[in-house]
Amino acid sequence: MKILRTPDARFENLADYPFEPNYTVIKTHDGDDLRIHHLDEGETDRPIVLCMHGQPVWSYLYRKMIPHLTAAGMRVIAPDLVGYGKSDKPAALEDYSYERQVEWLGAWLDANDFTNITFFGQDWGGLVGLRLVVNHPDRFDRVVISNTGLPYNPDVPAEVVAEIEDFRANKPTPTIIEMQQALGQMTDRTHAATKFAYWQKFCWENEDLPVGFMMSMTMENRSNAARAFKFLLHKLGMRSPFPTSLARAYEAPFPDSSYKMGPRAMPSHVPTLPTSASLDAQGKAWEFFESFEKPFLCAFADDDPVTSGGQTEFLARVPGTKDLPHTTIKGGGHFVQENAPEQVSKVIVDLIRST
């Protein structure tokens, strides 16, 4: 396996990211060394909050929450998924899968021997982290999730599967604007897997996925004129001559397109179809959570177009959700860590203190 490592110089002078790196080396399935980075902030004898990020971001996402959590007496552990941030980056698309991310982070978890963990996960951080809870239940005391899920879709109609597979194999790659327009034109009756296929295809087939640009457009307030200008530059294949500090930080892990295989590949491994290689594992994970009685709290945003209503299935099926103060994060968008860090941190701290 060819493995890339982002030079340290790419991470120098990032805004609001003063944290010291910590590294753990694990073995891949074929015996190669794979280095995983994590943050470790707060006193070592304090309650551990394991904060896991999604795609296409990294532990920089937690820079606003860490001060709130450590000030409340928590120890924050925030790893970078393999392929992201300061963690190593396998160089081939086929190196990545849902199951390998679970395997890699499980080996990292065992190597560091973290216990009595409160897990917090959002986006892919939830998909991977919830599976860590399944595979290492004795290490976890409670769970908090936001804007994520545990997708398991064994009953998608065959005609929908065929339509999606044809779209992903044969249709032109959508531009970012075409993707947004297509999603906006779909109705509530459009199957969720059909909608998500646009994001999967966009990421998979864009060799130089514009991570910094996308995160800037998603997370930062801009005037309509400024947004239009940036989209025009992107359409013309040009980068902004003056990227914001946030855009620079989210682009930092990727010196060139060869480092972006993780963010490109991971959406295609979300198990939205019954043909997914993770179907059986996801079914077993749901069987586990249907008897999970430790505290399990949902804190989804009120304005996330990606995971709206995603908490409903957890509230209905997970016993540990009963009688807990499930919270709606106001104005959090998809990335609640960026847009509502104080709200999310309070939810986590209050749960730990009350249980």
308, containing H or E segment? none
Give the DSSP letter of residue 307.
Answer: T
Instruction: Clarify whether 334 is annotated catalytic.
Output: yes
Helix 192-205 and helix 158-170, axial crossing angle in degrees, nearest 10: 20
Instruction: Give strand pairing partners of 143.
Output: 119, 296
Q: Is the Cβ–Cβ distance between 64 and 344 less than 8 Å?
A: no
Neighbours of 112 (CB within 10 A): 15
The Cα 307–Cα 334 span in angstroms is 8
Task: Write out the two tokens for 240.
Answer: 């902004």
Neighbours of 153 (CB within 10 A): 19
Which amino acid belongs to residue 333? Answer: G
Catalytic residue (choose from 80, 88, 95, 304): 304
Q: Is the Cβ–Cβ distance between 85 and 37 less than 8 Å?
A: yes
Catalytic residue (choose from 37, 68, 191, 334): 334
Task: Write out the two tokens for 191.
Answer: 């199957």
Instruction: Clarify whether 304 is annotated catalytic.
Output: yes
| CA nearest to 61, candidates 14, 22, 106 | 14
Catalytic residue (choose from 38, 53, 123, 269): 123
Instruction: Clarify whether 123 is annotated catalytic.
Output: yes
Query: Annotated active-site positions, please?
Result: 123, 304, 334
